[in-house]
Amino acid sequence: MAKGADNILRKLEEWRQKEEVNPELIEFYRKLLHIQSRAERRIGIPEPGLTSEASSERIEQGLPLIGFDDLALDWLLLQEIFAEVTGAFATYSELFGEFPESLKKPEPCPSLPEETAKAWFEGGRLPSLEGVDALGEHLLEAIIHATLKPFLVSYSEALLGLVKQERWRRGYCPICGGNPDFAFLDNERGARWLLCSRCDAEWLFQRLECPYCGNQDQNALAYFTDDEGLYRLYVCEKCKRYLKAIDLRQAKSEVLLPLERLITFGLDAQAREYGYSPADRACTR
Ligand SMILES: [Zn+2]
Ligand SMILES: [Zn+2]
């Protein structure tokens, strides 16, 4: 994945050169990706710690392969990354509207308590950070997400091979239980795969079902496409959520999915304009 992150940085640079995008936003992404890519190299690939029997059993029961307590997190490293990520958000704070003054000072960076990380992972309410006033929950979520991501990606790399795709097909990630925030239609048969917002795991899912609420009513599901038929915006009338997707059969050049989720923010704006919302950070099932 470290290699993947390098590729993403290269693509991001190409994008910056040819598109009219807020350069601050691209600089912010670059900074974040640098931090995460370096973190991935330091984390390495963890031992799976699960036999293939145990993982098959979890998959059959609809249980993701890792829970928060299964993560062997290096907390010293994690706090270091948390400080770097917080610094990146503070540097580009004008991108995020309201930003607490106390987080803009370089020292001392608050630490991320284990219970807060756990609450984020499990989709619970986030306690506020000690010594930091007025940090909106969405912003805190985004900072924790960016901090934990390299750790979760390393687990996803170690464990995804244990997932029998045809036995899962659920709306949440088989590795970490997170929600998908991107999808792709594969080259072979146009089958739809989902991409985890938290660990980048990919898994196979029905084309005609909303992964967020399980709606299968064809009259309440739709999608929009762009002129080239490359991108799709899946929407659900039942839960009013949307999912962005790329059709790899139409792609003319190399596609890096974790990058696609960033550079398609035009689709996010469109979806919001139509009255749809992105998924919550974790499953509420
Ligand atoms: Zn995941
Ligand atoms: Zn839905």
pLDDT tens-digit readout, 84-126: 999 999 999 888 887 788 777 767 778 999 999 999 999 988 8
From the CA of 48, how far away is ligand 2's center (Å)?
A: 33
Query: How high is the pLDDT of residue 2?
Result: 47
Query: How high is the pLDDT of residue 84?
Result: 95
Which residues of the chain carry a pLDDT beneath 70? 1-6, 18-20, 106, 281-285
From the CA of 50, how far away is ligand 2's center (Å)?
A: 32
Instruction: List Cβ neighbours of 48 (8 Å cut-off, separation of 6 or more).
Output: 55, 158, 159, 162
From the CA of 165, how far away is ligand 1's center (Å)?
A: 14
Instruction: Quickly count: other Cβ atoms within 10 Å of residue 217's Cβ.
Output: 12
From the CA of 156, how far away is ligand 1's center (Å)?
A: 7
From the CA of 67, how far away is ligand 2's center (Å)?
A: 25
21 burial (CB, 10 Å; 0-12 / 13-18 / 19+) is middle
Instruction: List Cβ neighbours of 63 (8 Å cut-off, separation of 6 or more).
Output: none
From the CA of 107, how far away is ligand 2's center (Å)?
A: 43
Query: How high is the pLDDT of residue 284?
Result: 45
Query: How high is the pLDDT of residue 241?
Result: 96
From the CA of 117, how far away is ligand 1's center (Å)?
A: 15
Whole-structure pTM over 0.75, yes or no? yes
pLDDT in tens, 20-37: 678 888 899 999 999 999
